[in-house]
Protein backbone atom coordinates (compact mmCIF):
# COMPACT_ATOMS: atom_id res chain seq x y z
CA UNK A 1 0.00 0.00 0.00
CA UNK A 2 1.00 3.63 -0.44
CA UNK A 3 2.52 5.61 2.41
CA UNK A 4 -0.08 6.81 4.89
CA UNK A 5 -0.67 10.56 4.62
CA UNK A 6 -0.94 12.10 8.10
CA UNK A 7 -2.46 15.43 9.03
CA UNK A 8 -1.67 16.97 12.43
CA UNK A 9 -4.08 19.42 14.05
CA UNK A 10 -2.01 22.12 15.74
CA UNK A 11 1.53 23.36 15.68
CA UNK A 12 2.34 24.23 19.27
CA UNK A 13 3.43 22.21 22.31
CA UNK A 14 2.74 18.48 21.88
CA UNK A 15 1.66 18.95 18.25
CA UNK A 16 5.35 19.59 17.52
CA UNK A 17 6.17 16.14 18.89
CA UNK A 18 3.58 14.61 16.52
CA UNK A 19 5.09 16.54 13.60
CA UNK A 20 8.64 15.39 14.46
CA UNK A 21 7.57 11.77 14.97
CA UNK A 22 5.69 11.59 11.69
CA UNK A 23 8.68 13.11 9.87
CA UNK A 24 10.75 10.23 11.30
CA UNK A 25 8.18 7.79 9.97
CA UNK A 26 8.96 9.05 6.47
CA UNK A 27 12.37 7.37 6.76
CA UNK A 28 10.61 4.01 7.12
CA UNK A 29 8.51 4.71 4.05
CA UNK A 30 5.15 3.85 5.62
CA UNK A 31 3.92 7.33 6.55
CA UNK A 32 4.43 10.96 5.65
CA UNK A 33 3.38 14.36 6.94
CA UNK A 34 0.83 15.57 4.40
CA UNK A 35 -0.90 18.43 6.18
CA UNK A 36 -1.01 20.51 9.34
CA UNK A 37 -3.89 22.62 10.63
CA UNK A 38 -2.76 26.02 11.88
CA UNK A 39 -5.19 28.66 12.99
CA UNK A 40 -4.14 32.33 12.67
CA UNK A 41 -1.23 31.57 10.38
CA UNK A 42 -0.39 35.23 9.78
CA UNK A 43 -0.43 36.58 13.28
CA UNK A 44 1.34 33.89 15.33
CA UNK A 45 3.26 35.28 18.29
CA UNK A 46 4.20 31.94 19.85
CA UNK A 47 7.44 30.97 18.11
CA UNK A 48 5.75 28.58 15.70
CA UNK A 49 6.20 30.97 12.73
CA UNK A 50 9.55 29.42 11.76
CA UNK A 51 8.15 25.89 11.92
CA UNK A 52 5.28 27.00 9.70
CA UNK A 53 7.69 28.39 7.15
CA UNK A 54 9.73 25.15 7.16
CA UNK A 55 6.61 23.02 6.75
CA UNK A 56 5.48 25.18 3.83
CA UNK A 57 8.92 24.82 2.18
CA UNK A 58 8.71 21.03 2.62
CA UNK A 59 5.43 20.98 0.70
CA UNK A 60 3.25 20.24 3.73
CA UNK A 61 -0.28 21.55 3.08
CA UNK A 62 -1.31 24.13 5.69
CA UNK A 63 -5.02 24.25 6.45
CA UNK A 64 -6.57 27.20 8.29
CA UNK A 65 -9.13 25.21 10.22
CA UNK A 66 -10.12 21.70 11.20
CA UNK A 67 -13.30 22.06 9.16
CA UNK A 68 -11.22 22.89 6.08
CA UNK A 69 -9.04 19.81 6.67
CA UNK A 70 -12.11 17.58 7.00
CA UNK A 71 -13.53 18.89 3.71
CA UNK A 72 -10.46 19.36 1.54
CA UNK A 73 -8.46 16.50 3.02
CA UNK A 74 -10.72 13.91 1.39
CA UNK A 75 -8.53 11.77 -0.87
CA UNK A 76 -5.43 13.66 0.33
CA UNK A 77 -5.21 12.69 4.01
CA UNK A 78 -5.48 9.13 5.37
CA UNK A 79 -5.10 9.66 9.10
CA UNK A 80 -5.58 12.69 11.37
CA UNK A 81 -3.75 13.17 14.65
CA UNK A 82 -5.39 15.22 17.40
CA UNK A 83 -2.83 16.58 19.90
CA UNK A 84 -5.41 19.12 21.06
CA UNK A 85 -6.86 20.40 24.34
CA UNK A 86 -8.44 17.62 26.42
CA UNK A 87 -11.89 19.25 26.60
CA UNK A 88 -12.04 19.35 22.78
CA UNK A 89 -11.09 15.68 22.25
CA UNK A 90 -14.65 14.42 22.10
CA UNK A 91 -16.00 16.95 19.59
CA UNK A 92 -12.99 16.83 17.28
CA UNK A 93 -12.80 13.01 17.35
CA UNK A 94 -16.53 12.76 16.63
CA UNK A 95 -16.37 15.22 13.75
CA UNK A 96 -13.28 13.49 12.36
CA UNK A 97 -14.78 9.99 12.32
CA UNK A 98 -18.12 11.26 11.00
CA UNK A 99 -16.24 12.92 8.14
CA UNK A 100 -14.65 9.56 7.29
CA UNK A 101 -11.20 9.74 8.91
CA UNK A 102 -9.34 7.41 11.22
CA UNK A 103 -7.60 9.15 14.09
CA UNK A 104 -4.73 9.21 16.54
CA UNK A 105 -6.38 10.93 19.51
CA UNK A 106 -4.03 12.07 22.25
CA UNK A 107 -4.42 10.80 25.78
CA UNK A 108 -6.41 11.10 27.97
CA UNK A 109 -9.04 10.04 25.43
CA UNK A 110 -12.06 11.97 26.77
CA UNK A 111 -13.10 13.17 30.22
CA UNK A 112 -16.25 11.05 30.66
CA UNK A 113 -17.30 7.44 30.26
CA UNK A 114 -20.38 8.41 28.27
CA UNK A 115 -18.15 10.22 25.77
CA UNK A 116 -15.82 7.24 25.37
CA UNK A 117 -18.83 4.96 24.90
CA UNK A 118 -20.19 7.29 22.19
CA UNK A 119 -16.87 7.27 20.36
CA UNK A 120 -16.63 3.47 20.58
CA UNK A 121 -20.09 3.28 18.94
CA UNK A 122 -18.99 5.78 16.31
CA UNK A 123 -15.94 3.67 15.45
CA UNK A 124 -18.27 0.76 14.78
CA UNK A 125 -20.75 2.85 12.80
CA UNK A 126 -18.17 4.58 10.61
CA UNK A 127 -15.70 1.71 10.25
CA UNK A 128 -12.89 4.12 11.20
CA UNK A 129 -10.45 3.52 14.04
CA UNK A 130 -9.41 5.86 16.81
CA UNK A 131 -6.03 5.03 18.30
CA UNK A 132 -5.33 6.63 21.70
CA UNK A 133 -1.92 8.23 22.35
CA UNK A 134 -1.06 6.21 25.46
CA UNK A 135 2.46 5.58 24.18
CA UNK A 136 3.49 3.29 27.03
CA UNK A 137 1.00 0.68 25.79
CA UNK A 138 3.35 0.57 22.77
CA UNK A 139 6.45 -0.07 24.91
CA UNK A 140 7.86 -3.49 23.86
CA UNK A 141 8.95 -4.27 27.42
CA UNK A 142 5.50 -3.47 28.84
CA UNK A 143 3.92 -5.66 26.18
CA UNK A 144 6.36 -8.49 26.87
CA UNK A 145 5.59 -8.24 30.58
CA UNK A 146 1.87 -8.38 29.77
CA UNK A 147 2.44 -11.52 27.70
CA UNK A 148 4.26 -13.11 30.62
CA UNK A 149 1.47 -12.12 33.01
CA UNK A 150 -1.19 -13.52 30.65
CA UNK A 151 0.83 -16.73 30.35
CA UNK A 152 0.64 -17.05 34.14
CA UNK A 153 4.35 -16.57 34.85
CA UNK A 154 3.62 -14.44 37.95
CA UNK A 155 0.72 -16.66 38.98
CA UNK A 156 -2.51 -14.96 39.99
CA UNK A 157 -2.14 -11.17 40.05
CA UNK A 158 -2.61 -9.88 43.59
CA UNK A 159 -1.67 -6.21 43.37
CA UNK A 160 -0.03 -3.58 41.21
CA UNK A 161 1.43 -0.35 42.56
CA UNK A 162 2.79 2.70 40.80
CA UNK A 163 4.42 5.87 42.09
CA UNK A 164 5.52 8.86 40.01
CA UNK A 165 6.55 12.31 41.23
CA UNK A 166 7.02 14.89 38.48
CA UNK A 167 7.58 18.53 39.43
CA UNK A 168 5.74 20.99 37.21
CA UNK A 169 6.56 24.70 37.12
CA UNK A 170 4.56 27.85 36.48
CA UNK A 171 5.42 27.71 32.76
CA UNK A 172 3.76 24.29 32.53
CA UNK A 173 0.56 25.70 33.95
CA UNK A 174 0.77 28.84 31.76
CA UNK A 175 1.30 27.08 28.44
CA UNK A 176 -2.39 27.17 27.50
CA UNK A 177 -5.79 28.04 28.92
CA UNK A 178 -6.65 24.59 30.26
CA UNK A 179 -3.57 23.36 32.15
CA UNK A 180 -4.44 22.76 35.80
CA UNK A 181 -8.15 23.38 35.22
CA UNK A 182 -10.98 21.07 36.24
CA UNK A 183 -13.45 22.80 33.91
CA UNK A 184 -12.97 25.19 30.97
CA UNK A 185 -15.86 27.01 29.28
CA UNK A 186 -18.31 24.68 31.03
CA UNK A 187 -16.52 21.57 29.74
CA UNK A 188 -14.70 19.01 31.88
CA UNK A 189 -10.92 18.86 31.53
CA UNK A 190 -9.90 17.30 34.88
CA UNK A 191 -6.32 18.26 34.11
CA UNK A 192 -4.23 16.84 36.94
CA UNK A 193 -1.51 14.20 37.22
CA UNK A 194 -3.92 11.23 37.27
CA UNK A 195 -5.71 12.38 34.12
CA UNK A 196 -2.86 13.93 32.18
CA UNK A 197 0.91 13.91 32.78
CA UNK A 198 1.00 10.63 34.73
CA UNK A 199 -2.18 9.15 33.24
CA UNK A 200 -0.12 6.64 31.26
CA UNK A 201 0.91 4.87 34.43
CA UNK A 202 -2.61 4.46 35.78
CA UNK A 203 -3.63 3.16 32.37
CA UNK A 204 -0.64 0.77 32.38
CA UNK A 205 -1.80 -0.83 35.63
CA UNK A 206 -5.35 -1.30 34.34
CA UNK A 207 -3.97 -2.68 31.08
CA UNK A 208 -1.53 -5.00 32.89
CA UNK A 209 -4.35 -6.52 34.92
CA UNK A 210 -6.54 -7.13 31.86
CA UNK A 211 -7.30 -10.72 30.85
CA UNK A 212 -5.64 -10.73 27.39
CA UNK A 213 -2.79 -8.96 25.61
CA UNK A 214 -4.88 -6.17 24.13
CA UNK A 215 -7.58 -5.83 26.77
CA UNK A 216 -7.70 -3.92 30.03
CA UNK A 217 -9.31 -4.98 33.28
CA UNK A 218 -12.83 -4.02 34.31
CA UNK A 219 -12.91 -2.28 37.67
CA UNK A 220 -15.05 -3.24 40.66
CA UNK A 221 -14.53 -0.16 42.85
CA UNK A 222 -12.24 2.81 43.46
CA UNK A 223 -11.34 5.10 46.35
CA UNK A 224 -9.42 8.30 45.63
CA UNK A 225 -8.05 11.43 47.30
CA UNK A 226 -7.39 14.50 45.12
CA UNK A 227 -5.51 17.51 46.49
CA UNK A 228 -4.05 20.73 45.15
CA UNK A 229 -1.09 22.55 46.60
CA UNK A 230 -1.27 25.46 44.13
CA UNK A 231 -3.90 28.13 44.83
CA UNK A 232 -3.97 29.18 41.17
CA UNK A 233 -5.17 25.84 39.76
CA UNK A 234 -8.60 24.27 40.11
CA UNK A 235 -7.69 20.65 39.46
CA UNK A 236 -5.51 18.30 41.52
CA UNK A 237 -1.70 18.21 41.62
CA UNK A 238 -1.23 15.57 44.35
CA UNK A 239 -3.35 12.45 44.33
CA UNK A 240 -3.61 8.84 45.39
CA UNK A 241 -6.09 6.11 44.73
CA UNK A 242 -6.76 2.43 45.21
CA UNK A 243 -9.02 0.28 43.04
CA UNK A 244 -9.92 -3.33 42.58
CA UNK A 245 -10.46 -5.11 39.29
CA UNK A 246 -13.37 -7.51 38.83
CA UNK A 247 -10.79 -10.32 38.93
CA UNK A 248 -9.71 -9.17 42.39
CA UNK A 249 -6.37 -7.48 41.61
CA UNK A 250 -5.76 -4.39 43.78
CA UNK A 251 -4.27 -1.29 42.12
CA UNK A 252 -2.49 1.45 44.09
CA UNK A 253 -1.46 4.74 42.45
CA UNK A 254 0.49 7.69 43.96
CA UNK A 255 1.35 10.85 42.00
CA UNK A 256 2.29 14.46 42.58
CA UNK A 257 3.46 17.54 40.68
CA UNK A 258 4.71 19.04 43.96
CA UNK A 259 7.55 16.76 45.10
CA UNK A 260 10.89 17.73 46.59
CA UNK A 261 12.64 15.55 43.98
CA UNK A 262 11.69 14.07 40.66
CA UNK A 263 10.94 10.35 40.78
CA UNK A 264 10.10 8.78 37.44
CA UNK A 265 7.22 6.29 37.51
CA UNK A 266 7.89 2.75 38.70
CA UNK A 267 5.27 0.01 38.55
CA UNK A 268 5.45 -3.10 40.74
CA UNK A 269 3.40 -6.14 39.77
CA UNK A 270 2.85 -8.73 42.49
CA UNK A 271 1.56 -12.21 41.73
CA UNK A 272 1.27 -15.42 43.69
CA UNK A 273 4.31 -16.90 41.89
CA UNK A 274 6.52 -13.87 41.35
CA UNK A 275 6.92 -10.13 41.06
CA UNK A 276 7.95 -7.69 38.36
CA UNK A 277 9.01 -4.07 38.22
CA UNK A 278 8.73 -1.87 35.15
CA UNK A 279 9.94 1.71 34.94
CA UNK A 280 9.64 4.86 32.87
CA UNK A 281 12.76 3.93 30.87
CA UNK A 282 11.05 0.70 29.87
CA UNK A 283 13.38 -1.45 32.00
CA UNK A 284 11.65 -4.53 33.33
CA UNK A 285 12.74 -7.11 35.88
CA UNK A 286 10.79 -10.30 36.55
CA UNK A 287 11.57 -12.36 39.64
CA UNK A 288 10.18 -15.84 40.13
CA UNK A 289 11.46 -18.94 41.89
CA UNK A 290 13.23 -19.77 38.63
CA UNK A 291 15.37 -16.64 38.91
CA UNK A 292 15.51 -13.09 37.59
CA UNK A 293 15.00 -11.93 34.03
CA UNK A 294 15.68 -8.40 32.80
CA UNK A 295 14.72 -6.82 29.50
CA UNK A 296 14.00 -3.40 28.04
CA UNK A 297 12.54 -1.72 24.96
CA UNK A 298 15.52 -2.76 22.83
CA UNK A 299 15.91 0.77 21.50
CA UNK A 300 12.30 1.05 20.32
CA UNK A 301 10.76 4.47 20.99
CA UNK A 302 7.15 4.09 22.26
CA UNK A 303 6.22 7.60 21.00
CA UNK A 304 7.30 6.55 17.51
CA UNK A 305 5.37 3.30 17.84
CA UNK A 306 2.10 5.20 18.35
CA UNK A 307 2.40 6.59 14.83
CA UNK A 308 3.99 3.48 13.29
CA UNK A 309 1.31 1.12 14.63
CA UNK A 310 -1.47 3.49 13.51
CA UNK A 311 0.05 3.71 10.03
CA UNK A 312 0.22 -0.09 9.89
CA UNK A 313 -3.44 -0.40 10.88
CA UNK A 314 -4.36 2.12 8.16
CA UNK A 315 -2.35 0.08 5.65
CA UNK A 316 -4.19 -3.07 6.69
CA UNK A 317 -1.02 -4.67 8.10
CA UNK A 318 -2.34 -4.80 11.68
CA UNK A 319 -5.90 -5.59 12.72
CA UNK A 320 -6.20 -2.84 15.31
CA UNK A 321 -4.18 -0.24 17.22
CA UNK A 322 -2.46 -1.27 20.46
CA UNK A 323 -4.07 1.53 22.46
CA UNK A 324 -7.77 1.76 21.64
CA UNK A 325 -10.84 3.52 22.94
CA UNK A 326 -12.05 0.11 24.12
CA UNK A 327 -8.94 -0.69 26.15
CA UNK A 328 -8.81 2.88 27.50
CA UNK A 329 -12.41 2.76 28.73
CA UNK A 330 -11.59 1.45 32.20
CA UNK A 331 -9.04 4.26 32.57
CA UNK A 332 -11.84 6.79 31.95
CA UNK A 333 -14.07 4.92 34.41
CA UNK A 334 -11.26 5.06 36.98
CA UNK A 335 -10.89 8.83 36.52
CA UNK A 336 -14.63 9.44 36.78
CA UNK A 337 -14.89 7.18 39.80
CA UNK A 338 -11.90 8.92 41.40
CA UNK A 339 -13.70 12.25 41.12
CA UNK A 340 -16.91 10.72 42.46
CA UNK A 341 -14.97 9.35 45.41
CA UNK A 342 -12.95 12.49 46.17
CA UNK A 343 -15.89 14.84 45.45
CA UNK A 344 -13.64 17.84 46.09
CA UNK A 345 -10.20 18.92 45.01
CA UNK A 346 -9.08 19.70 48.53
CA UNK A 347 -6.60 22.55 48.94
CA UNK A 348 -3.51 21.62 50.95
CA UNK A 349 -3.10 24.37 53.59
CA UNK A 350 -0.31 26.72 52.51
CA UNK A 351 1.58 26.16 55.78
CA UNK A 352 2.43 22.71 54.30
CA UNK A 353 3.53 24.11 50.92
CA UNK A 354 6.82 25.73 50.06
CA UNK A 355 7.44 27.71 46.91
CA UNK A 356 10.79 27.20 45.19
CA UNK A 357 12.43 29.30 42.48
CA UNK A 358 10.46 32.13 40.86
CA UNK A 359 8.92 33.37 37.63
CA UNK A 360 8.20 30.64 35.04
CA UNK A 361 10.32 28.14 37.00
CA UNK A 362 8.38 28.57 40.24
CA UNK A 363 7.42 25.20 41.74
CA UNK A 364 5.31 24.14 44.69
CA UNK A 365 6.72 21.55 47.11
CA UNK A 366 4.41 19.86 49.61
CA UNK A 367 6.12 19.22 52.93
CA UNK A 368 7.38 15.61 53.13
CA UNK A 369 5.21 14.51 50.21
CA UNK A 370 7.86 12.25 48.66
CA UNK A 371 8.22 10.27 51.90
CA UNK A 372 4.46 10.27 52.56
CA UNK A 373 3.62 8.83 49.16
CA UNK A 374 6.47 6.30 49.45
CA UNK A 375 5.11 5.24 52.82
CA UNK A 376 1.51 5.09 51.61
CA UNK A 377 2.59 2.89 48.70
CA UNK A 378 4.69 0.60 50.89
CA UNK A 379 1.72 0.04 53.22
CA UNK A 380 -0.96 0.03 50.46
CA UNK A 381 -2.71 2.97 52.13
CA UNK A 382 -4.05 6.33 51.01
CA UNK A 383 -2.78 9.57 52.58
CA UNK A 384 -5.77 9.89 54.93
CA UNK A 385 -5.12 6.34 56.21
CA UNK A 386 -1.66 7.53 57.31
CA UNK A 387 -3.18 10.35 59.37
CA UNK A 388 -1.65 13.12 57.24
CA UNK A 389 -3.12 16.28 58.86
CA UNK A 390 -4.53 17.79 55.66
CA UNK A 391 -5.76 14.51 54.17
CA UNK A 392 -9.44 13.55 54.22
CA UNK A 393 -10.85 10.05 53.99
CA UNK A 394 -13.09 9.30 50.99
CA UNK A 395 -15.60 6.53 50.20
CA UNK A 396 -15.34 3.61 47.81
CA UNK A 397 -17.30 4.04 44.61
CA UNK A 398 -18.83 1.01 42.94
CA UNK A 399 -17.67 0.93 39.32
CA UNK A 400 -19.51 -2.14 38.11
CA UNK A 401 -21.93 -1.13 35.41
CA UNK A 402 -20.60 2.47 35.60
CA UNK A 403 -22.03 4.33 32.62
CA UNK A 404 -22.31 8.01 33.46
CA UNK A 405 -20.21 10.69 35.11
CA UNK A 406 -22.34 13.76 35.78
CA UNK A 407 -20.63 16.10 38.23
CA UNK A 408 -22.67 19.09 37.05
CA UNK A 409 -25.86 17.52 38.37
CA UNK A 410 -24.35 17.42 41.87
CA UNK A 411 -22.42 20.69 42.18
CA UNK A 412 -19.03 20.25 43.79
CA UNK A 413 -16.17 22.48 44.67
CA UNK A 414 -14.12 21.56 41.63
CA UNK A 415 -16.98 22.52 39.36
CA UNK A 416 -17.73 25.73 41.21
CA UNK A 417 -14.11 26.82 41.07
CA UNK A 418 -13.36 25.56 37.62
CA UNK A 419 -15.61 27.62 35.38
N1 LIG B 1 1.38 11.43 25.00
C2 LIG B 1 2.00 12.27 25.79
O3 LIG B 1 2.94 11.94 26.50
C4 LIG B 1 1.54 13.69 25.82
C5 LIG B 1 2.40 14.70 26.27
C6 LIG B 1 1.92 16.02 26.27
C7 LIG B 1 0.62 16.29 25.87
N8 LIG B 1 -0.18 15.27 25.48
C9 LIG B 1 -1.56 15.52 25.06
O10 LIG B 1 -1.53 16.28 23.86
C11 LIG B 1 -2.69 17.10 23.79
C12 LIG B 1 -2.26 18.54 23.54
O13 LIG B 1 -1.58 19.03 24.67
P14 LIG B 1 -0.86 20.45 24.59
O15 LIG B 1 -0.40 20.74 25.96
O16 LIG B 1 0.09 20.48 23.48
O17 LIG B 1 -2.16 21.36 24.21
P18 LIG B 1 -2.21 22.88 23.78
O19 LIG B 1 -1.11 23.64 24.42
O20 LIG B 1 -3.61 23.34 24.02
O21 LIG B 1 -1.91 22.85 22.20
C22 LIG B 1 -2.87 22.37 21.34
C23 LIG B 1 -2.50 22.65 19.90
O24 LIG B 1 -3.59 22.22 19.09
C25 LIG B 1 -4.08 23.30 18.32
N26 LIG B 1 -5.53 23.19 18.19
C27 LIG B 1 -6.40 22.88 19.16
N28 LIG B 1 -7.65 22.86 18.65
C29 LIG B 1 -7.53 23.18 17.35
C30 LIG B 1 -8.46 23.34 16.28
N31 LIG B 1 -9.77 23.14 16.46
N32 LIG B 1 -7.99 23.68 15.07
C33 LIG B 1 -6.68 23.86 14.89
N34 LIG B 1 -5.74 23.75 15.83
C35 LIG B 1 -6.18 23.40 17.06
C36 LIG B 1 -3.69 24.54 19.09
O37 LIG B 1 -3.69 25.60 18.19
P38 LIG B 1 -3.36 27.12 18.61
O39 LIG B 1 -1.88 27.20 18.57
O40 LIG B 1 -4.04 27.92 17.56
O41 LIG B 1 -3.93 27.33 19.99
C42 LIG B 1 -2.31 24.13 19.60
O43 LIG B 1 -1.35 24.27 18.59
C44 LIG B 1 -3.45 16.89 25.10
O45 LIG B 1 -4.40 15.90 24.92
C46 LIG B 1 -2.37 16.36 26.04
O47 LIG B 1 -2.88 15.58 27.10
C48 LIG B 1 0.25 13.99 25.44
Contact present, 234 and 181 (Cβ < 8 Å)? yes
Contact present, 397 and 340 (Cβ < 8 Å)? yes
Q: What is the position in ligand 1's atom list of the atom closest to the CA of 89?
A: 45
Closest C-alpha to ligand 1, atom 6: 14
Residue 175: pLDDT above 80?
yes
Q: How far is CA 418 from CA 50, 65, 181, 407, in A?
A: 35, 28, 6, 12
Q: What is the position in ligand 1's atom list of the atom closest to the CA of 46?
A: 39
Q: What pLDDT, on a 0 to 100 scale, did the predictor assign at position 46?
A: 78
39 touches ligand 1 (CB under 6 Å) = yes
302 touches ligand 1 (CB under 6 Å) = no
Domains, the chain, with CATH or none: 4-136 (3.40.50.720), 137-297+325-418 (3.30.360.10)
> Quick one: how many helices (H) and strands (E) in the chain?
12, 20
pLDDT band at 44 (very low <50, low <70, confident <90, very high): confident
CA–CA separation, 343 and 172 (whole Å):
25
Q: What pLDDT, on a 0 to 100 scale, did the predictor assign at position 29?
A: 92
CA–CA separation, 33 and 313 (whole Å):
17
Out of 46, 68, 85, 302, give the residue to mutate to test ligand 1, the one with the largest number of ligand atoms within 8 Å of its CB.
85
Question: pLDDT, tens digit, for every residue of 251-269?
Answer: 999 999 999 999 999 999 9
Closest C-alpha to ligand 1, atom 10: 83
Tell me, yes or no, if the pTM score tops 0.95. Answer: yes
11 touches ligand 1 (CB under 6 Å) = yes
Residue 415: pLDDT above 50?
no
Q: What is the position in ligand 1's atom list of the atom closest to the CA of 177?
A: 20
The mean pLDDT of 83-110, rounded to a whole number, is 98
pLDDT band at 68 (very low <50, low <70, confident <90, very high): very high
Contact present, 112 and 405 (Cβ < 8 Å)? yes
Residue 47: pLDDT above 60?
yes
Beta carbons within 8 Å of 140's beta carbon, 6+ residues apart: 282, 297, 298, 300
CA of 233 to the centre of ligand 1 (A): 19
Q: What pLDDT, on a 0 to 100 scale, did the predictor assign at position 411?
A: 57
Q: What pLDDT, on a 0 to 100 scale, did the predictor assign at position 419?
A: 35
83 touches ligand 1 (CB under 6 Å) = yes
135 touches ligand 1 (CB under 6 Å) = yes
Question: pLDDT, tens digit, for every residue of 194-227?
Answer: 999 999 999 999 999 999 999 999 999 999 999 9
176 touches ligand 1 (CB under 6 Å) = yes
142 touches ligand 1 (CB under 6 Å) = no
Residue 45: pLDDT above 80?
no
Q: CB neighbours (10 Å) of residue 385?
A: 16
Contact present, 79 and 314 (Cβ < 8 Å)? yes
Question: pLDDT, tens digit, for every residue of 301-314?
Answer: 999 999 999 999 99
The mean pLDDT of 314-341, rounded to a whole number, is 97
Q: What pLDDT, on a 0 to 100 scale, did the predictor assign at position 418?
A: 44
Q: What pLDDT, on a 0 to 100 scale, did the predictor assign at position 359?
A: 93
Question: pLDDT, tens digit, for every residue of 367-399?
Answer: 999 999 999 999 999 999 999 999 999 999 999
Amino acid sequence: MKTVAFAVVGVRNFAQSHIRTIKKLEEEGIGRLQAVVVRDQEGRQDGSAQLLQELGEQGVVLFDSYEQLLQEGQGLVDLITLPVAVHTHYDLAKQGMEAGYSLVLEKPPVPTVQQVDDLICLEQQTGQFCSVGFQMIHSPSLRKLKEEVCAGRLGELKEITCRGYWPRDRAYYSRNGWAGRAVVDGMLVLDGPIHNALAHYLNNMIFMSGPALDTSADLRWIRAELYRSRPFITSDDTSCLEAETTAGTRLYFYVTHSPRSQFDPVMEVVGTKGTATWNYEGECEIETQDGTERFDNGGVDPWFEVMRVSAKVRRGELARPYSTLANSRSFVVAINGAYDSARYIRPIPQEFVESTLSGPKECAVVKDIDELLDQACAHRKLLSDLGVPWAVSTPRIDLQDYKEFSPFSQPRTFVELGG
